[in-house]
Amino acid sequence: MSARADPPPSVADARPWGPQQGGLIKRALEGGARLLGRGAPPQPEAPPRAEPPAVAEAPPVLLVAPAGPDPAERRAWADRLWGEGLCLPGGAAELLRLSALLPLTPDATLLLAGDGARAAGGIVSGARGCFVSAFDPLAEPPSAAPKPGRKVTAAPFDPAAPAFRARYHNHAMLLEPFRGGGSPAALLAATAAGLRAGGQLVLLDLVVRDAPAAGRWLEAECRRAPPPEAEIPRALAAAGFQVNVVEDAGPRHRRAVMEAWAALTEALRGEATRPTPAAARAMVEEAEAWLLRLRLLEQGRLRLLRWHATMARAPS
């Protein structure tokens, strides 16, 4: 099947974001800042400054350590947004939508790599009945051989030095695998080496277009820069994949983010207990990271693309 691009998003999806669309996350930022006893945080629309402004008056009493929120606090907000242990907007529903693109059977083994792969593997295996080899940056090295019949196994994932069991997996799903760095050529060659003949691949990740990704966003997400868009098809071809479909997943991604934040802010309004200062600060940082990502997507500096490809030949 020849490669094709899905139709472009509708005019409604492509229009600039107005106050109604961006307001939910901004309100989360402002609400978290109020819980900390300070003014609203810097708005993502403002251009970054080389140096912070000088403060003449004495610094206020700090409610949270200046080193930044505990990563566990941000992880707790991510769990509420996407589902426990998951990192993908849309949560379990989006995972199952992506896995439905692959012909997974109860005796098939799926190579699943990326942040949140352990939790995602359990969801996919539970729904499709397949075996899953999950490669997660936060997974511990296995201490012993997996027990016979165990459906989901987990191992560490290093995108800078990817290595998978050769010719073992039937299909693969890579979920934002370049968040921690690495090159498309190396990762896709390793993925191809780990697949059996005729294996299929679903790859979902951000790519940059003309301008480099904003440093402020990279810092907010604690991540490396995404690869240039043109690198992915070259790496797929070099690894022996034939691309079947390329989809612009950005519009659906944006909707999932906004729906999750709307649900979270509504839930917070109904809770009797206010978040702790540490949790409030973590919410501010998590919300700002997503607001910056959505802004870069809307500006066209980032794209979220989904490739569906099939192993057509041995890697070159």
Q: How far apart are CA 171 and CA 113, in angstroms?
A: 12
Residue 213 confidence (pLDDT): 72
If you compute the radius of gyration of the chain from its CA atoms, what whole number of angstroms results?
21
Q: How far apart are CA 287 and CA 107, in angstroms?
A: 40
Residue 90 confidence (pLDDT): 97
On whether the CB atoms of residues 184 and 178 are closer than 8 A, the answer is yes
On whether the CB atoms of residues 125 and 151 are closer than 8 A, the answer is yes
Write down how long the chain is: 316
Compute the C-alpha angle 188/194/195, nearest 5°. Answer: 95
Amino acid at 141: P
Q: How far apart are CA 46 and CA 237, in angstroms?
A: 40
pLDDT tens-place values along the chain, 316 residues long: 444 444 443 333 333 333 444 566 666 666 555 555 544 444 444 444 444 334 334 333 333 334 456 889 999 999 999 999 999 999 999 999 999 999 999 999 999 999 999 999 999 999 999 999 999 999 988 766 667 778 999 999 999 999 999 999 999 999 999 999 999 999 999 999 999 999 999 999 999 987 777 789 999 999 999 999 999 999 999 999 999 999 999 999 999 999 999 999 999 999 999 999 999 999 999 999 999 999 999 999 999 999 999 999 776 6
Residue 130 confidence (pLDDT): 98
Residue 251 confidence (pLDDT): 97
The token duo for 153 is 């196994």
List of domains in the chain: 67-311 (3.40.50.150)
Torsion of CA 207, 211, 216, 220, to 10 degrees: 0
- The dihedral region occupied by 27, where left means phi > 0, alpha psi between -120 and 50, and beta the remainder, is alpha
Longest dimension (CA), the chain: 67
pTM of the model: 0.81
On whether the CB atoms of residues 130 and 104 are closer than 8 A, the answer is yes
Q: Could you tell me the CA-to-CA distances from 14 to 10, 97, 248, 252, 300 in Å, in that order?
A: 6, 23, 12, 12, 10
Residue 214 confidence (pLDDT): 76
Compute the C-alpha angle 94/303/70, nearest 5°. Answer: 65
